[in-house]
A and B are shown apart, each in its own frame.
Chain A
Amino acid sequence: MDVLLQQVVNGLMLGGVYVMVAVAFTLVIGMLNFLNFTIPALFMVAAVMMWAAMAGGFGADIDAVLDDVLGAPNKWIAGVIIALVVVSLASLVIERFTYRYMKAKYGDATEHALPLVSSLGFLIAFEHLVIGRWGSDPLTIDSPFGNASFHLGAVQFSIPQVISLALSLAIVFGLSLMLRKTRLGRAVRSIAERPDTATLMGVDVGRIVPVVYVIAGLLCAIAGILFTINYTTVDAYIGDKVATVAIAGMVLGGLGNVWGAIVGGLFVGLLEVLSIHFFGASIVKVPIWGMLLLILVMRPTGLFGHTAIGKGKF
């Protein structure tokens, strides 16, 4: 029983990572009806930047500078900053190539599959940039926080993991509040429903879209940072592995629904860990994708969604 309880806790902790990636997906889908495949890439880039800062991946010179300025145990701080900056800049570049230029050339580009295809291109390009620089083998670090943990009964709680889960939920709640209560949030929701009418209200859609790309990118970046700290092993394909599960979580919750993404993300984390516990790691994808297929057949709107595919559902 204690073992099972421990697995439930581990599953929820892992789910915290999925929640943020699922919300990043759902934000872009909700607003632009666009399944953005650069999200796995941004998650991976942040995770690898985190690894590189801590494990000397940027080369001996930069590593020596980081040692001098921050000291060896604090190099993770540099990782956080580098990951956030790199992902923000990458998000702006991606926005130009998956949305802005397409819209300028083809009108409402979201009506086409073009953004989807160009985002897949970005995913592959980013993965190969990382492979070209650091190879495709697993990249590992020593956890910067050791095995800091506490016990409740027989169940062990890793302190970094608890902080990570709390942080991801706090960020997502904050984002939901922003969407509900602020001027920017109303603008995002109005673009989601009727971009042309939003323009008539004086909303400069071309200025809001990059902001949303950066917000989605930062969610992935924070998830990637937390992943590296807590699970200490990353590689160039970590984005695929994590983000595909996050997509399953998002669909479970309902596309474009932030609350659904929270529940769905936590659920797939739980499902993954429990599947490994009961059936072994080799077939863990089967229960997750089996659940996804069942959901799509029986309730294509997900648990909390309004429509299967479409815009305007925050």
Chain B
Amino acid sequence: MLLEVAGLDVRYGRTRAVRGMDLTLDSGEIVTVLGANGAGKTSLLKALQGIVRLAAGRIRFDGADVTGWSAPRRVRGGLTLVPEGRQIFVSLTVHENLQMGAYSRSDPVDAEIEEIYDRFPNLAARRDMSASVLSGGEQQMLAISRALLSKPKLLMLDEPSLGLSPLLVIELFDLIKALNRDGLSILLVEQNTHMALQAAHRGYVLELGAAVISGTPEDLVNEEQKLEAAYLGGG
């Protein structure tokens, strides 16, 4: 088991954003976490990365108990989050953004950066320009490439399709599946249920901070009523 989460609680003041969440992810899996706005999906990812504190629960990752690890240490340990809204550094060039992705490593990364440029010629063409000149789709590719340069064992994606055109969404999910075929494990938070369930091996549906359904995509689709209820926030 690559990732094992037990009884995870996240609180903001009196609000319990995540309550008693259990989640597992095997090496090589794509697991998706679905749910309405405010269901606690982003809080879950932030807690896994270590940028919000846990109120309760344990996180085991890659054979170690990482519950007490700082976020930078978890990055060095192979756990990397692509945050919602891409959050690229616009005061840095495209190339510097990629270099920041490799910040946690001390081995040479130039060859890997060149591979990324081969994969995304649009990034290569703008390598020395401010990352602010990139389109939304290009920014998402940069954000994912930047995360890949930390050499993650588990890549966590928070709403990667948000704001992308339908064509770019298809391209994005092709990339996610290709990365997974190359052996990368992925934890995917998505609003685009249809695309997410198509790509994922398993999924969880969150409602008010707790998992109400989990299983294979077929299981989730079969419980469509519950799924819809979760999205409408009715329960």
* Residues of A participating in the B interface, judged by any CB pair closer than 8 Å: 183, 186-187, 189-190, 192-194, 196-204, 312-314
Contact = CB atoms under 8 A, between A and B. Distances in A.
A194 B49 CA distance: 16
Given A201-B146, A202-B150, A193 B76 contact: no
A186 B87 contact: no
Contacts of B70: 204
Contacts of A313: 91
A284 B109 CA distance: 55
Nearest to B146: A201
Given A197-B89, A201-B100, A204-B72, 16 more contacts: A183-B99, A186-B96, A186-B99, A186-B100, A189-B96, A190-B92, A190-B100, A192-B91, A193-B89, A200-B71, A201-B103, A202-B75, A202-B103, A203-B72, A312-B91, A314-B91
Interface in B62-119: 70-72, 75-76, 80-81, 83, 87, 89-92, 96, 99-101, 103-104
Interface string B139-154: 0000000100010000
8 closest cross-chain pairs (CB), A and B: A202-B104, A202-B75, A197-B87, A202-B72, A204-B72, A201-B103, A193-B91, A201-B100
A204 to B, nearest CB: 5
10 contacts: A183-B99, A190-B92, A197-B87, A197-B89, A199-B51, A200-B49, A200-B81, A202-B71, A202-B104, A204-B72
A314 to B, nearest CB: 7
Nearest to B97: A190
Given A202-B75, A202-B76, A197 B99 contact: no
Contacts of A183: 99, 103
Interface residues of B, number: 23
A193 B90 CA distance: 8
Contacts of A312: 91
B159 to A, nearest CB: 15
Contacts of B75: 200-202
B171 to A, nearest CB: 23
A196 B51 CA distance: 8
B125 to A, nearest CB: 21
Contacts of B81: 200
Given A186-B99, A186-B100, A200 B80 contact: yes
A189 B91 contact: yes
A202 B81 CA distance: 11
A10 B51 CA distance: 52
Contacts of A194: 87, 89
A22 to B, nearest CB: 20
A287 B215 CA distance: 73
| Listed residue (A183, A198, A200) with the most chain B CB atoms within 10 angstroms of its CB | A200
Contacts of B92: 186, 189-190, 193
A298 to B, nearest CB: 25
Contacts of A197: 83, 87, 89
Nearest to B80: A200
Nearest to A198: B100
A183 B106 CA distance: 11
Among A201, A203, A312, A313, max chain B CB count under 10 A is at A201
B83 A200 contact: yes
A203 B75 CA distance: 9
B91 A199 contact: no
Contacts of B49: 200
B71 A199 contact: yes
Contacts of A186: 92, 96, 99-100, 103
Q: Which of B75, B83, B91 lies at the interface centre, i.e. has the most chain A CB atoms within 10 A of its CB?
A: B91
A28 B71 CA distance: 24
Contacts of A204: 70, 72
B83 to A, nearest CB: 6
